Amino acid sequence: MIINCIYIMDFVKWCNNNQGFWSFILAMLSLVISVIAIAYSIINFINDNRKKFRVICNFIIDEPDMIMVSTSITNVGNKPLGINEFLVLYNDCKLSCISSVSRWPDLVMPSETINVIHYINMDKDIWASNNYKTVNKHFKVGVIDNNSKKHFCKHIYYETKKDRF
């Protein structure tokens, strides 16, 4: 115990006599604080300029060969964002659909929601070979924004005509 105190006293004397040591400690401390401040500024800049759509999709199966796709598209970012194209993919192949929207709005403002209905003609054999519960494995529904970024629905909900009535 006494030996440890002697070493500590020698270290304190050495630090008091060596001013370069304290300059080095203060320089390293200011460097660490500067790096933290720069990282914080970059993260805030990225979050403030976020551009993102949230796509919620519901398949309503009225007939074996016709699917009504009810889609809600919300701008959850902080900047206005435009929609270039609506996508419905089946096993990564684009399907043609009839839309309730003749022209997309130029810009979707932050927290604004657009509700769209699309109709897809599907072959009866495809529906016969697939259970409705496998919709999320085969279908992808989404939009392409004006920056050519794709935003897809994370989970597709489905219901049949029997479920609604």
Instruction: Tell me, yes or no, whether 146 and 113 share the same domain.
Output: yes
Contact between residue 86 and residue 71 where contact means Cβ atoms under 8 Å apart: yes
Could you read off the pLDDT of 116-149 as tens digits, one per residue? Answer: 888 887 765 565 555 556 666 778 888 888 888 8
Q: Are 40 and 60 contained in the same domain?
A: no
Give the tens place of pLDDT for each residue, 3-39: 667 778 888 888 788 878 878 888 999 999 999 999 9
pLDDT computed for residue 36 by the predictor: 96
- Residue 115 sits in which domain range? 53-164
CATH number of the domain enclosing 99? 2.60.40
**Residues 6+ positions from 93 with CB-CB distance below 8 Å:** none
Residues 11 and 90 placed together within one structural domain of the fold: no
pTM for this prediction: 0.62
Phi, psi for 159 (deg, rounded to 5): -155, 150
CB contact at 8 A, 153 and 57: yes
